[in-house]
A and B are shown apart, each in its own frame.
Chain A
């Protein structure tokens, strides 16, 4: 979908179009909307395919979008990829009726709405609006003052999208490796993949072979049951000096790392130790940049990838869960960023997000 500098703008009643804030325009045909592609009640009587998916509906949009449903089952969850809506879980068969709403925009592609008014715009005020009948509500006529029955009714506030896209929140927490030995004579640390590494990120150790990567080093103690807890963390961020495919040295700064000036390691400590890449100083890895100009109303969905293994792990096509009704995170919103904080730990997620042209702090 492309932006256009032509279109129709209608502001909410009593507000001149010229000079109106973007959230005061009930209709701006240049924007994307929270617009339905499909509403379906789907009768499902299907079994899982070879990939473990119970197919619910072939939507055929060709892209992943936001969706919602009334599906609730303790053993199955509902997802959408670019072709189908499907169930997955511990059951291999499902019989029942599921109501779906699938929205009409490729949420994982980055989109930002046009800003401001078209050049040459010259209609200072209008109380004229437009109504279009919804073909799925045959009982309503244009003259009716019903809350439903119209696909577009500019006497209402029509929610449009400021921005949508994909965000990986705190991505570096997906990467880790183990330090298995320190040679104090050569100041080298031996590393290996995290045991059982079953994601493409955990298999990827290139960050330990890239000069100047900031990392965290911590020793571990095993709790009963094998859950590791951190018993000591080297508080300074360390920077990698690659030595071989299984060893590296560390420096106290990127410049020192790039110059090859390693720290003199005088003590081996306990093993295994835990390694993780750090964010670059000043880099925001826990935020979505939206720049809408006010703390906005936002919508989120969790994004997933399947990983296939043919000797080499391969990340599959993305798919999403339904629009999140509640999120296990706290979100700080300002006029430029949404920032995510875990409730009791670091929040790590792949998210599809929608920023609406709608302030979270103004009623209208």
Chain B
């Protein structure tokens, strides 16, 4: 089979096929996601909590990471993903975060300075898709308990049928 000669194409209105740059061309790869996969490749999760409320002593520049969610994606490569975090609830000091969407990564704003940062991000490898929670403290940080599960998200992710060029949305 000559794979390059099959397909459908449609010219723009008033234009000729010979001009190329068609209105529709089935030979061009398009983003798609499989709705029938198990575990789900398109999923919404309500009441997704922000993870451990780590208590960090002063002056400990450290990175803490935990996995909150993991599925075997079953793809022959680490797939590209879209991930949206919607803050359903947040600590009272960060009430402004409620009702906001973030792409790929959700800040969990802290109210003290200096401490570091806290957030949720997505990652893929050859076998798994993950959602992870992290805290990264800075040198000279104050002692603090981070927000973790005080945040409550709605998470919607989609694993696409093409390889990821960026495999993690972690900011580090």
Say yes or no for B154: interface residue by CB 8 A criterion: yes
Expressed in whole angstroms, the Cα–Cα distance for A101 and B30 within the complex equals 12
Interface string of B1-25 (1 = CB under 8 A from A): 1011011101011100000010111
Partner among B13, B96, B102 whose Cβ is within 8 Å of the Cβ of A327: B102
A144-201 CB contacts (< 8 Å) to partner B: 147-148, 151-153, 155-159
Say yes or no for B76: interface residue by CB 8 A criterion: yes
Given A157-B35, A159-B31, A326-B171, residue A364 in contact with residue B42 (CB < 8 A): yes
Given A151-B7, A363-B44, residue A34 in contact with residue B30 (CB < 8 A): yes
Expressed in whole angstroms, the Cα–Cα distance for A94 and B36 within the complex equals 43
Count of chain A to chain B residue pairs whose CB atoms are closer than 8 Å in the complex: 164
- From A120-128, A205-213, A293-301, give the one contacting chain B: A293-301
Expressed in whole angstroms, the Cα–Cα distance for A363 and B28 within the complex equals 26
Interface string of B92-135 (1 = CB under 8 A from A): 00001101111111010100000000000100000000000000
- In the complex, the answer to whether A157 meets B33 with C-beta atoms within 8 Å is yes
- In the complex, the answer to whether B84 meets A33 with C-beta atoms within 8 Å is no
Residues of B within 8 A of A4 (CB): 10, 12-13, 23
Say yes or no for B55: interface residue by CB 8 A criterion: no
Specify the chain A residue showing the minimal Cβ separation from B27: A151
Specify the chain A residue showing the minimal Cβ separation from B82: A297
- In the complex, the answer to whether A325 meets B104 with C-beta atoms within 8 Å is yes
- In the complex, the answer to whether A326 meets B101 with C-beta atoms within 8 Å is no
- In the complex, the answer to whether B12 meets A363 with C-beta atoms within 8 Å is no
Given A37-B28, A326-B102, A360-B86, residue A147 in contact with residue B34 (CB < 8 A): yes
Specify the chain A residue showing the minimal Cβ separation from B30: A33
- In the complex, the answer to whether A325 meets B169 with C-beta atoms within 8 Å is yes
Given A101-B165, A364-B42, residue A326 in contact with residue B35 (CB < 8 A): no
Residues of B within 8 A of A358 (CB): 158
Residues of B within 8 A of A69 (CB): 165
- In the complex, the answer to whether B26 meets A343 with C-beta atoms within 8 Å is no
A307-364 CB contacts (< 8 Å) to partner B: 324-327, 330-333, 341, 343, 358, 360-364
B38-86 CB contacts (< 8 Å) to partner A: 40, 42-44, 75-77, 79, 82, 84, 86
Given A69-B165, A157-B35, residue A297 in contact with residue B84 (CB < 8 A): yes
What are 10 A-B pairs at a CB distance below 8 A? A1-B12, A2-B12, A13-B35, A30-B24, A147-B79, A156-B35, A159-B160, A325-B169, A326-B103, A341-B100
Chain A interface residues (CB < 8 Å from chain B): 1-2, 4, 6-8, 12-13, 26, 29-30, 33-37, 39, 68-70, 99, 101, 104, 130, 132-136, 138, 141, 147-148, 151-153, 155-159, 295, 297-300, 324-327, 330-333, 341, 343, 358, 360-364
